[in-house]
Amino acid sequence: MTQLDTGPDGEACDADERAKDFDEGPHGRTVLVTGGAGFIGSHLARALVEENEVRILDDLTTGSVDAVPDDATPIEGDVTDRATVEEAMAGVDIVFHQAAVVSVDESVADPPRSHRVNVDGTLTVLEAAREAGARVVLASSAAVYGDPGTLPVTIDEPMTPRSPYGADKAAVDAYAHAYDATYGIPVVALRYFNVYGPGQRGPYSGVIEAFVQRALAGEPLTIHGDGEQTRDFVHVSDVVKANLAAATTEHTGTAYNVGTGESVTVTDLAAIVREEAGTDADVRHESARTGDVRHSRAATGRARDRLGFEARVPLREGIADLIGVRVETSQPSGSAEQAPQRPADHGDV
């Protein structure tokens, strides 16, 4: 259900310290992070735990209990199980709903399972939050846009998802608005673009992680298609800051893009990784993947104006830090199947 995070605590320190510099998050609250043993969820939990009572709900299908902060309370369970969610939600002020099937390919292979976890699981969380009177911050995705008609893509862009995963997240967005409007529960949906950073693992961990692993191993970097497709890569510490801002904003019942507002071609991304890794590893091209979005870049004005959020970590700096962590902690950098270069592969949700 949640995204794998097997990195040691030390690997996430720099990213977590960046997030702690943002002081607009909740304080003295009881919070629940679903998927909190996963990639984004565990970073978020570490940013929250010093000032709040934090509970983690995760079924550990792909998440790791080692990623849960020591001061957080772990609860092993499934977000589709109403009794489990209601128990975890008891007395909670804010829930950050990060748990999901995040793989586009898995959603294509098994749409009913993807829908059950992503949509039914979200409804279960929303219902439990309604009973508990809790604020909800939902993880959505740029996958809701499909191939946008204009760039940068604004929140008002029609949702035309190209995958079951994207359709799931479009439904999540719609329910966020509906529950806020109908029941008066403060709900915010955050549409993540391509998230990267320390602690990202697994076959669907994203193109940056795959490039870094291969570059450090001296293996060829594989690009699907001509490499001219563009993506908006946002560092996990910035995604955490967006969540913290969403937890306190008065502007609820809507969605916000979480990206940098800048894009890079996958060819240029490979060049940056090779330069920062100090490798002359080859770059090879394979056939484009079915359903890949051609271009993606977030319009960030609404998040800036209403949440006070702007991404701060430049792409090259984030990649350099990630490579430094890999080298310093001697993380295995063996062969890894590279993930699709899709906005949906945000690694966290």
| Residues designated as active site | 165
| Residue 13 and residue 72 in contact, taking contact as beta carbons nearer than 8 Å | no
In sequence order, the 6+-apart residues with CB closer than 8 A to the CB of 36 are: 2, 42, 44, 45, 54, 55, 56, 57, 58, 63, 68, 72, 74, 96, 98
45 φ, ψ to 5°? -60, -40
| Residue 64 and residue 87 in contact, taking contact as beta carbons nearer than 8 Å | no
Distance from C-alpha of 65 to C-alpha of 59, rounded to nearest angstrom: 10
Distance from C-alpha of 181 to C-alpha of 187, rounded to nearest angstrom: 9
